[in-house]
Amino acid sequence: MINNMEMKTKIREKFKTLFGGEGEVFASAGRINLIGEHTDYNGGYVFPGAIDCGIMAEVKVNGTQKVRAFSLDYDEYVEFGLNEEDKPQQQWACYIFGVCRETTKRGGKVEGFDCVFAGDVPLGAGLSSSAALESTFAFAINYLFGNKIDKFDLAKIGQSTEHNYCGVKCGIMDQFASIFGKKGNLIRLNCKTLEYKYFPFDPKGYKLVLVDSCVKHELASSAYNKRRESCENAAKAISKNHPDVEFLSDAKRVWLDEVRDQIPEEDFLRAEYVIGEVQRVLDVCDALERGDYETVGEMMYQTHFGMSKLYEVSCEELDFLNKLARKCDVTGSRVMGGGFGGCTINLVKEELYDGFIAAVKELFPAKFGHDPKFYDVVISDGARKVE
């Protein structure tokens, strides 16, 4: 989607009208996470990849100390300065402002520039449109001002922007995937050591489709804190026997069994899910190296089961979508993201795709009274200069 000339042409036209001349064009991507959910704060693995929808921006240094920005999707123009007190009112502009500030804080040079941008990541659907936006500008600014900030720090600029200018205390995964994303590859990131490795993901004969339940149940943040507490509690109990265990991801399954009667049953179940999930990421990576997408899919179902029955962060709508996927012989399906709503991610054979979509379109609204949404995604490049 992002490569389409149409978006670039629209951006170029607007840029010319507003500012005259031509800038350089940059883009970055939204992301999916194939497997590895609620593992990040347990020091485990996540396994994201950049997707073929994102943000594209034309940017040109303007020789002043002001940023002049136009959002095509909001049809809105904003100007702001580069000092801490210059934070703009518009939320979308805060992402750009934050990236400028965080670059400056890291010793990078940032001066005024003109920009026009647009995107095609659905907002708030769990595909991280905000990371796509941050990464595009982090990359562009780094390039245009010759800053030579390394890629990991570009991801951290995006993350700190969310923390310090947008009020979202997120982890590093979204920005990491958006910056490091590579066509046909997923990236296994160790959230404890920040080591990462690319794995081929090129499922010929399959499609990757997200089904958006379009629900977001409250509870999410209080439940999230409770899950974290359970995990910390279980890790602490295990560390009494195995002092090297700092996070649950360090623990073997049998070590959890040793402390079963020392912790609440609920904490045991939460930990059982996490330890299993860390292992599943490794199993999926092995399977991908063999090109074994059926095993990948089976692991996705196991994750869903764990998130629903052990970690208890699913909901009726997501469980329904998961069951329906199984019924339609979808290869793999699971809730993606923190839970309590949002999307399922589905790996489905091309010949079964139409039947699956038709079944969801018919049965989901019949039960829940509203339509779901569908997003086909292909694993694609992350932050880059568009030639």
Q: How far, CA to CA in Å, does 382 sit from each of 7, 21, 107, 182, 186?
A: 17, 27, 24, 6, 11
Return the number of the residue (130 or 314) whose C-beta is nearest Mg ion.
Answer: 130
Stretch that binds ligand ADP, among 120-128, 219-227, 240-248, 267-275 (CB under 6 A): 120-128
Residue of 12, 141, 118 lying closest to 56 (CA atoms): 118
Catalytic annotation, pick one of 40, 52, 153, 174 = 174
Query: What is the DSSP code (8-state) at residue 380?
Result: -
Q: 3-state DSSP call for residue 205?
A: coil
Interacting residues of 327 by C-beta distance below 8 A, sequence separation 6+: 359
Interface positions, 131-150, toward ligand ADP (CB under 6 A): 133
Return the number of the residue (7 or 296) whose C-beta is nearest ligand ADP.
Answer: 7
Q: What is the bridge-based pairing of β-strands 185-190 and 45-46?
A: antiparallel
Residue spans of beta strands (DSSP E) within the chain: 24-33, 45-46, 48-61, 66-71, 76-81, 113-119, 185-190, 196-200, 206-216, 332-335, 341-349, 373-377, 384-386
Query: How many other CB atoms sit within 10 Å of the CB of residue 24?
Result: 15
Residue of 347, 251, 250 lying closest to 293 (CA atoms): 347
Q: How far is the CB of 342 from ligand ADP (least distance, A)?
A: 9
Return the number of the residue (113 or 199) whose C-beta is nearest ligand ADP.
Answer: 113
Selected binder of ligand ADP within 130, 213, 303, 308 (CB under 6 A):
130
Length of the chain: 387
Please give the residue whose beta carbon sits closest to Mg ion in the complex: 130
Return the number of the residue (72 or 238) whose C-beta is nearest ligand ADP.
Answer: 72
Interface positions, 78-117, toward ligand ADP (CB under 6 A): 91-92, 95
- Sketch the per residue contact string, 116 through 135, with Mg ion: x for CB under 5 A, - otherwise: --------------x-----
Selected binder of ligand ADP within 119, 181, 339, 382 (CB under 6 A):
119
Q: How far is the CB of 129 from ligand ADP (least distance, A)?
A: 3
The residue whose two tokens read 């179940």 is 269
Q: Is the dihedral of CA 77, 82, 88, 92 positive or negative?
A: positive
> 302: phi > 0 → left, psi -120 to 50 → alpha, else beta; which?
alpha
Q: How far is the CB of 119 from ligand ADP (least distance, A)?
A: 3
Return the number of the residue (18 or 170) whose C-beta is nearest Mg ion.
Answer: 170
Q: How far is the CB of 177 from Mg ion (least distance, A)?
A: 12
Interface positions, 27-66, toward ligand ADP (CB under 6 A): 55
Selected binder of ligand ADP within 28, 42, 103, 129 (CB under 6 A):
129
Please tell me whether residue 77 binds ligand ADP under the rule CB under 6 A.
Answer: no
Rounded Cα gap, residues 144 and 132, in angstroms: 18
Interface positions, 356-385, toward Mg ion (CB under 5 A): none
Please give the size of the binding site for ligand ADP, defined by CB under 6 A. Answer: 18
Return the number of the residue (28 or 130) whose C-beta is nearest Mg ion.
Answer: 130
202 is catalytic: no
Residues involved in catalysis: 174
Q: Residue numbers of the site for Mg ion (CB under 5 A)?
A: 130
Q: Residue numbers of the site for ligand ADP (CB under 6 A)?
A: 55, 71, 73-74, 91-92, 95, 118-119, 121, 123-124, 126-130, 133
